[in-house]
A and B are shown apart, each in its own frame.
Chain A
Amino acid sequence: MSDLTKLTIAQARTALAAKEFSAQELTQAFIDAIAAGNEKLNAYVLPTPELALEQARQSDKRLAAGKAGDLEGIPLGIKDLFCTKGVRTTACSKILAEFVPPYESTVTQNLWDQGAVLLGKLNNDEFAMGSSNETSAYGPVVNPWRRAGDDQTDLVPGGSSGGSAASVAAELCLGATATDTGGSIRQPAALTGTVGIKPTYGRCSRWGTVAFASSLDQAGPLTKTVRDNAILLKAMASFDPKDSTSVDVPVPDYEAAIGKSIKGLTVGVPKEYRIEGMPKEIEALWSQGIEWMKDAGAKIKDVSLPHTKYALPAYYIVAPAECSSNLARYDGIRYGLRVPGEDITALYENTRAAGFGEEVKRRILIGTYVLSAGYYDAYYLKAQKVRTLIKRDFDDTFKDVDVLLTPTTPGPAFGIGEVSGDPVQMYLNDIFTVTVNMAGLPAISVPAGLSSQGTPLGLQLIGRAFDEETLFQTAATIESAAGDLARPTPWWRH
């Protein structure tokens, strides 16, 4: 049998339906791949092989009975931010210790309802705060990609969904769930040559997902192809009465958008994304993307989103503010780590000092400061007003264009430990991705080429609220224009 891990979700689904192999054989192939490769990549923090095989057995029964769900027998990795009933969930923080959720997140429940198989929990930056997966309590994830001619330097896979992106790129799962608060799906997608969408805010339920910044957090899929991404998002998305910000609109068949011509669409190119000091290869990739759009019959329009540059600083007020409030729940009493103290305040202070990592503490403190008496108006209220202006820029622009095209990141994957010291340097990774979180809009990153170092680069498409279909349609056009990109050689297998 050929290597089953090389399949896409769409191919595996067809082959399972045609009984070319069983769900158990498919799952076993991934269990073996994880056993052979996870030590070097550190993508999974908790593989669940027994559970996976049991789920695959059930899938085989349903396949035989003609009762297959949309994802029947498809093995997936789940970011450790999604609560999985009876399976340890830590957000990759020491403060959650050995937390075992007594409930299932809505997003993962939707996947199991469609017959998907859980291969294990995936590494991420602690509480999804980071852009390189270096803040995880379980240590960094290593990008399966390496610079051409350099087999010594371990690169980051991006973050916070670094485990999700690396496991898809290294074929340790067919697809993975991820979350995106400021770029945490799209930036790792770009840095690992995978496809990642952050859907419209309210499209996927946040219920049962560990909260970071509630007005920005949104779940989405990471996959090898645009088609797989459409398949997985359809299964993840739903209206959920348990999430008060879940939006009650029907989930379309996203896959139907793939293969549709983009002839006649207007693609906007926002000039503010042409930042000072942008590497030439990013400029070139962007120009190439514009040419592909023209070749496919789309109209190109130069547009302006004047408040773009203020999105990132405003984000670093809003996100820490919401984080400081959300993470107040980790008190050493109800779950997770507990470090005793002489009184209850000391218990809180000791527990939180020992349980949170450096970046998380930093953001809690920023958030506490901007929300504290006398500073609220100057920082938080101001940032929320800037957010209104960012949203207004997009609203105005989408009167004239159907979709926006930008680079996903300002550069390719960097080495582990290369961007350290100044937190702001790390934050700048999200300069092109954070704007849509602030506005609540959907955006997708699609692999579009390789850097001069031989590592992947991505292009980003931004759409109107709840118009993920145009994103899949346009992303599929880029995917086919870019052709077959190189794959990383599997150095991680032993």
Chain B
Amino acid sequence: MEVDSATVRRIAHLARIKITKAEEKSLENELSGIFEWVKQLDEVDVTDVEPMTSAVQMTLRLRPDKVTDGEKADEVTANAPLKEDGFFVVPKVVE
């Protein structure tokens, strides 16, 4: 197996997705299958090949470092499941 159950648990935690025991088992199989299939990339010689960083050759544009938007607390929090006075409400994070 390319990916074992401990690895599935570890990456699920890194990705902050809770998974059940049953999901863990099927993900172990599915992910192993996918990585097994992806292994064919080992055939490709990539010596001295630069990784692609942009689909189209271009230089990223710069703009003046000025505030162009803002003062929209109500709009920003409009879709929040829990909010108060223009703030997001979260469980206690710092003791």
Binary flags per residue of A325-354, CB closer than 8 Å to B gives 1, else 0 = 000100111111110110111111110110
Q: Does B75 contact A102, Cβ atoms closer than 8 Å?
A: yes
Q: How long is the Cα–Cα vector from A200 to B56 in the complex, in angstroms?
A: 9
Measured between C-beta atoms, what is the minimum distance from A251 to chain B in Å? Answer: 15
Tally inter-chain residue pairs, CB-CB below 8 A.
Answer: 155
Given known contacts A372-B11, A424-B37, A244 and B61 CB-to-CB distance under 8 angstroms: yes
Q: If A334-B79, A372-B14 touch, does A313 touch B51 (CB 8 Å cutoff)? A: no
A83–B68 Cα distance when bound, in Å, is 21
A205 to chain B, nearest CB (A): 13
Are the CB atoms of A365 and B27 closer together than 8 Å?
Answer: yes
A465/B61 in contact, CB under 8 A: no
Tell me if A310 and B56 are in contact (CB < 8 A): no
**Interface hits, B48-95 → A, CB 8 Å:** 49-56, 58, 60-61, 63, 72, 75-82, 88, 90-93
Residue of B nearest to A424 (CB): B37
Evaluate contact between B27 and A424: CB separation under 8 angstroms.
no
Interface centre among A100, A215, A328, A333 (most CB of B within 10 A): A333
> B56: which of A202, A340, A362 is its contact (CB, 8 Å)?
A202
List chain A residues, Cβ under 8 A from B80: 333-335
Q: Are B30 and A423 in contact (CB under 8 A)?
A: yes
With most chain A CB atoms within 10 A of its CB, the pick from B12, B33, B81 is B81
A389: Cβ under 8 A from any B Cβ: yes
A340 to B82 Cα, complex, angstroms: 11
CA of A343 to CA of B93, assembled, Å:
8
How far apart are the CA atoms of A309 and B23 in the complex, in Å? Answer: 31
Bound complex: CA A345 to CA B14 (Å): 10
A75 to chain B, nearest CB (A): 28
Contacts of B46 on A, CB cut-off 8 Å? 382, 385-386, 389
Q: Inside 8 A of A309's CB, which chain B residues have their CB?
A: 40
A244-B60, A337-B81 in contact; A201/B55 too (CB < 8 A)? Answer: yes
Identify 5 new A-B residue pairs, CB closer than 8 A, beyond the known A215-B55, A316-B37, A423-B30: A309-B40, A333-B80, A379-B38, A389-B44, A440-B55
Closest 6 CB pairs of A and B: A440-B55, A384-B51, A338-B81, A335-B79, A349-B18, A385-B46
